[in-house]
Protein backbone atom coordinates (compact mmCIF):
# COMPACT_ATOMS: atom_id res chain seq x y z
CA UNK A 1 0.00 0.00 0.00
CA UNK A 2 1.33 3.44 -0.89
CA UNK A 3 2.32 5.75 1.93
CA UNK A 4 -0.14 8.62 2.37
CA UNK A 5 1.38 11.90 3.36
CA UNK A 6 -0.34 14.35 5.65
CA UNK A 7 -0.29 16.93 2.85
CA UNK A 8 -2.27 14.68 0.48
CA UNK A 9 -5.29 14.97 2.80
CA UNK A 10 -5.30 18.76 2.89
CA UNK A 11 -8.52 20.17 1.48
CA UNK A 12 -10.13 16.72 1.19
CA UNK A 13 -13.76 16.49 2.25
CA UNK A 14 -16.17 13.59 2.59
CA UNK A 15 -18.01 12.70 -0.63
CA UNK A 16 -21.26 14.60 -1.07
CA UNK A 17 -24.70 13.15 -1.74
CA UNK A 18 -24.17 13.96 -5.43
CA UNK A 19 -20.83 12.13 -5.48
CA UNK A 20 -22.34 9.03 -3.85
CA UNK A 21 -25.15 9.19 -6.42
CA UNK A 22 -22.60 9.45 -9.24
CA UNK A 23 -20.86 6.31 -7.92
CA UNK A 24 -24.19 4.43 -7.93
CA UNK A 25 -25.01 5.72 -11.41
CA UNK A 26 -21.61 4.49 -12.61
CA UNK A 27 -22.50 1.04 -11.24
CA UNK A 28 -25.85 1.19 -13.04
CA UNK A 29 -24.07 2.10 -16.28
CA UNK A 30 -21.90 -1.01 -15.97
CA UNK A 31 -24.82 -3.44 -15.67
CA UNK A 32 -25.16 -6.18 -18.29
CA UNK A 33 -27.58 -5.30 -21.07
CA UNK A 34 -30.12 -7.86 -19.81
CA UNK A 35 -30.61 -5.81 -16.61
CA UNK A 36 -29.98 -2.27 -17.85
CA UNK A 37 -33.48 -1.39 -19.09
CA UNK A 38 -35.23 -2.56 -15.92
CA UNK A 39 -32.62 -0.85 -13.74
CA UNK A 40 -33.07 2.42 -15.64
CA UNK A 41 -36.72 2.52 -14.53
CA UNK A 42 -35.82 2.40 -10.83
CA UNK A 43 -35.44 5.82 -9.23
CA UNK A 44 -32.24 6.33 -7.25
CA UNK A 45 -32.40 8.51 -4.15
CA UNK A 46 -29.42 9.32 -1.94
CA UNK A 47 -29.99 10.79 1.52
CA UNK A 48 -27.82 11.31 4.59
CA UNK A 49 -29.84 8.78 6.63
CA UNK A 50 -33.06 6.83 6.28
CA UNK A 51 -36.09 8.87 7.37
CA UNK A 52 -37.12 8.29 11.00
CA UNK A 53 -40.53 6.95 9.96
CA UNK A 54 -38.88 4.35 7.74
CA UNK A 55 -36.51 3.25 10.49
CA UNK A 56 -39.41 2.95 12.93
CA UNK A 57 -41.46 0.96 10.41
CA UNK A 58 -38.54 -1.45 9.94
CA UNK A 59 -37.80 -1.70 13.68
CA UNK A 60 -34.31 -0.28 13.26
CA UNK A 61 -33.08 1.81 16.20
CA UNK A 62 -29.66 2.81 14.86
CA UNK A 63 -29.77 4.72 11.56
CA UNK A 64 -26.19 3.63 10.85
CA UNK A 65 -27.42 0.04 10.41
CA UNK A 66 -29.21 0.78 7.12
CA UNK A 67 -27.00 1.55 4.11
CA UNK A 68 -29.63 1.04 1.42
CA UNK A 69 -33.19 -0.05 0.77
CA UNK A 70 -35.32 -1.14 -2.16
CA UNK A 71 -38.86 0.19 -2.02
CA UNK A 72 -41.33 -1.10 -4.57
CA UNK A 73 -42.84 -4.23 -6.02
CA UNK A 74 -40.33 -6.77 -7.28
CA UNK A 75 -40.57 -7.50 -10.99
CA UNK A 76 -41.81 -11.11 -10.58
CA UNK A 77 -44.68 -9.84 -8.43
CA UNK A 78 -45.71 -6.81 -10.52
CA UNK A 79 -49.16 -6.59 -12.01
CA UNK A 80 -51.29 -3.95 -13.69
CA UNK A 81 -53.20 -3.69 -10.41
CA UNK A 82 -50.18 -2.36 -8.48
CA UNK A 83 -50.51 1.18 -7.18
CA UNK A 84 -48.73 3.88 -9.14
CA UNK A 85 -45.39 5.34 -8.27
CA UNK A 86 -41.93 4.32 -9.30
CA UNK A 87 -39.78 1.69 -7.66
CA UNK A 88 -37.05 3.31 -5.62
CA UNK A 89 -33.58 2.48 -4.37
CA UNK A 90 -32.45 4.48 -1.38
CA UNK A 91 -28.77 4.81 -0.54
CA UNK A 92 -27.84 6.35 2.80
CA UNK A 93 -24.60 8.32 2.66
CA UNK A 94 -23.55 8.45 6.33
CA UNK A 95 -24.07 4.73 7.04
CA UNK A 96 -22.21 3.87 3.81
CA UNK A 97 -19.31 6.13 4.81
CA UNK A 98 -19.31 4.68 8.32
CA UNK A 99 -19.13 1.13 6.96
CA UNK A 100 -16.42 2.13 4.50
CA UNK A 101 -14.26 3.52 7.32
CA UNK A 102 -14.96 0.52 9.57
CA UNK A 103 -14.00 -1.94 6.82
CA UNK A 104 -10.88 -0.12 5.73
CA UNK A 105 -10.30 -2.71 3.00
CA UNK A 106 -12.55 -1.65 0.13
CA UNK A 107 -12.74 1.33 -2.19
CA UNK A 108 -15.70 3.61 -1.56
CA UNK A 109 -17.00 3.33 -5.13
CA UNK A 110 -16.94 -0.47 -4.81
CA UNK A 111 -18.95 -0.33 -1.58
CA UNK A 112 -21.50 2.06 -3.08
CA UNK A 113 -21.80 -0.19 -6.14
CA UNK A 114 -22.25 -3.22 -3.91
CA UNK A 115 -25.05 -1.62 -1.86
CA UNK A 116 -26.75 -0.38 -5.04
CA UNK A 117 -26.54 -3.80 -6.76
CA UNK A 118 -27.79 -5.54 -3.61
CA UNK A 119 -30.89 -3.32 -3.55
CA UNK A 120 -31.37 -3.71 -7.31
CA UNK A 121 -31.34 -7.49 -6.84
CA UNK A 122 -34.43 -7.07 -4.64
CA UNK A 123 -36.10 -5.26 -7.58
CA UNK A 124 -35.44 -8.39 -9.65
CA UNK A 125 -37.14 -10.48 -6.97
CA UNK A 126 -34.15 -11.89 -5.12
CA UNK A 127 -34.37 -12.37 -1.35
CA UNK A 128 -31.50 -11.56 1.02
CA UNK A 129 -30.87 -15.33 1.23
CA UNK A 130 -30.69 -15.58 -2.60
CA UNK A 131 -28.23 -12.70 -2.73
CA UNK A 132 -26.11 -14.11 0.11
CA UNK A 133 -25.89 -17.47 -1.68
CA UNK A 134 -23.94 -15.90 -4.56
CA UNK A 135 -22.47 -12.80 -2.91
CA UNK A 136 -20.08 -13.51 -0.02
CA UNK A 137 -19.25 -9.77 0.34
CA UNK A 138 -20.37 -9.45 3.95
CA UNK A 139 -18.28 -12.35 5.28
Tell me the pTM.
Answer: 0.85
CA proximity to 17, closest of 40, 39, 54, 44: 44
**Pairing mode, if any, of strands 68-71 and 88-92?**
antiparallel
Characterize 45-58 residue by residue with b for buried, 16 or more Cβ atoms within 10 angstroms of its Cβ, and e for exposed.
Answer: ebeeebeeebbeee
13 contacts 105 by C-beta, under 8 angstroms: no
Query: 85 or 50: whose pLDDT is higher?
Result: 50
pLDDT in tens, 30-80: 988 888 888 999 999 999 999 999 999 999 999 999 999 999 888 778 776
pLDDT in tens, 86-99: 899 999 999 999 99
Whole-number pLDDT of residue 35? 85
**Pairing mode, if any, of strands 68-71 and 43-47?**
unpaired
The domains of the chain, with CATH numbers, are 16-72+86-134 (3.30.2010.20)
Average pLDDT of the residues of the chain:
87
Amino acid sequence: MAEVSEESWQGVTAPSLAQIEAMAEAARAMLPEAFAAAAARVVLRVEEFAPEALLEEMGIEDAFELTGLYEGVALPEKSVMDPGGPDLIWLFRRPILDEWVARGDVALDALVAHVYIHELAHHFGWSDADIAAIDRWWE
